[in-house]
Amino acid sequence: MGIAGNDWVLMKTARAPSNIAVIKYWGKRDEKLILPINSSISVTLDYLFATTTVAVGPSFTSDRLWLNGKEVSMESERYKNCLQQIRSRATDVTDEKTGLVVKKEDWKDLHVHVASRNNFPTAAGLASSAAGFACLVYALAHLMGAKETYEGEFSAIARLGSGSACRSLYGGFVKWNMGKEDSGRDSIATQIVEKDHWKDLVIIIAVVSSRQKETSSTAGMQTSVKTSPLLHHRAEVVVPKRIEQMEQAILKQDFATFAKLTCADSNQFHATCLDTSPPIFYMNDTSRRLIGLVEKWNAHEGTPQAAYTFDAGPNAVLFAPNNEVAKSLLQRILYLFPPAADADISKYVIGDQSIMEL
Ligand code: DP6
């Protein structure tokens, strides 16, 4: 049985988390296929996520997309590539509730409507595109009954949407292997360890500003590739060693090494931005005060108590080795940035991951 009638809509909803890189991806060797110049490692941020509903129906006359309630064009190559890759892997799908059958050959004539929402500031350096594209690919694959023909294939498709998105299909600690093949087939993410491997680790996200960043990651890294000598040194000499050391630190739950590498890599990424012409500034005074707080505390104790990392924006992601140290970190942050009298500080909960607005 094929498609009957014109009055049906098939829908699927998925949720995908954001991630924060502790060894950063910055720079592409292939702009179209989004192939990076170095491998990277991230931690999946379970509490920052995108929720995406994808729908198809015979009455839809074009592919359309709504982000946080506002319609945006689906004409960008990135959306088109992801959609086309999933469409070409679509299979016969039977809707469990209604018994409706969409045949493999019907998918190419059906348009999709996509509605996606983030529960965190969009484009403020909290990897909204990572969660968004990972979620889109996952939801579309589910809707169209697409199956991976090799392990990591969906990660490679999410990468076509946004590089960092390939890491958001997995939980815990994730490595995006830069790969060697021109096709990008081996430029995929794999899980290093599940979140439960390092149960004591606490992540605090300090939202410094929810304003949209001035230079997008895509444009920023393009300029860095063209103009920054430091970037090439970083990709060729520094990062390959750090990737190995970071993997070992994660496997051994060695917080001191993890913290040193995380802070050093964030600082080198921002140094690369400054080494770009014209220079790019993603951090602000609040970001720098947070760095000062952690650095002074670590120097005073003689061993890392906490670590920080900043993506392409001023917001900080902070790490502590356990709840006790995380509470002390939180106290220090609140001392430096006292909350307004009417602020609801009950939300500054220490668990495995916390979010606070400064
Ligand atoms: C600083 O993945 O947003 O967050 O591939 O052009 O979409 P495109 O860039 P994007 O860049 C992320 C850069 C970063 C570091 C990282 O996530 O590794």
Would the pLDDT of 176 be above 50? yes
Is the CB–ligand 1 distance for residue 311 below 6 Å?
yes
Residue % of the chain over a pLDDT of 70: 92
Of 117 and 358, more confident: 117
Ranges 149-163, 248-262, 308-322, 337-351: which has the least confidence: 337-351
Would the pLDDT of 98 be above 60? yes
Query: What is the signed CA dihedral for 176, 291, 18, 32, rounded to 10 degrees?
Result: -50
Residue % of the chain over a pLDDT of 90: 84
The pLDDT value recorded for residue 1 is: 42
What type of residue is 146? A
Q: Which two tokens stand for residue 260?
A: 């040193």
Please count the other Cβ atoms lying within 10 Å of the Cβ belonging to residue 334.
15
CA of 25 to the centre of ligand 1 (A): 6
Say what the ipTM of the complex is: 0.99
Q: Nearest-5° angle of CA 47, CA 49, CA 50?
A: 165
Segment 80-106 shows an average pLDDT of: 95
Segment 127-154 shows an average pLDDT of: 94
Q: Which two tokens stand for residue 204?
A: 């605090």
Give me the residues paired with residue 191 across strands: 174
- In which residue are the tokens 């809509």 written? 9
Instruction: Respond yes or no on whether the N-terminal peptide bond of residue 278 is cis (omega within 30° of 0).
Output: yes
pLDDT tens by residue, 224-267: 999 999 999 999 999 999 999 999 999 999 999 999 999 999 99
Enter the DSSP assignment of 341.
T
Confidence of residue 343 (pLDDT cuts 50, 70, 90): confident
CB burial of 198-234 (b: ≥16 within 10 Å; e: otherwise) equals beebbbbbbbbbeeebebebeebbebbbeebebbeeb
- Most ligand 1 atoms within 8 A of CB, residue of 118, 217, 218 to mutate: 217
Q: Long-range contacts: 326-330, Cβ < 8 Å, 24+?
A: 326/202, 326/204, 326/350, 326/354, 329/204, 329/294, 329/297, 329/305, 330/204, 330/354, 330/356
CA of 164 to the centre of ligand 1 (A): 5
CA of 340 to the centre of ligand 1 (A): 33
Would the pLDDT of 106 be above 80? yes
Indicate the SS3 state at residue 193. Answer: strand
- Nearest atom (ligand 1) to Cα of 25: 18
Confidence of residue 123 (pLDDT cuts 50, 70, 90): very low
Q: Which two tokens stand for residue 340?
A: 């307004």
What type of residue is 352? D
CA of 250 to the centre of ligand 1 (A): 22
pLDDT tens by residue, 66-76: 999 999 999 99
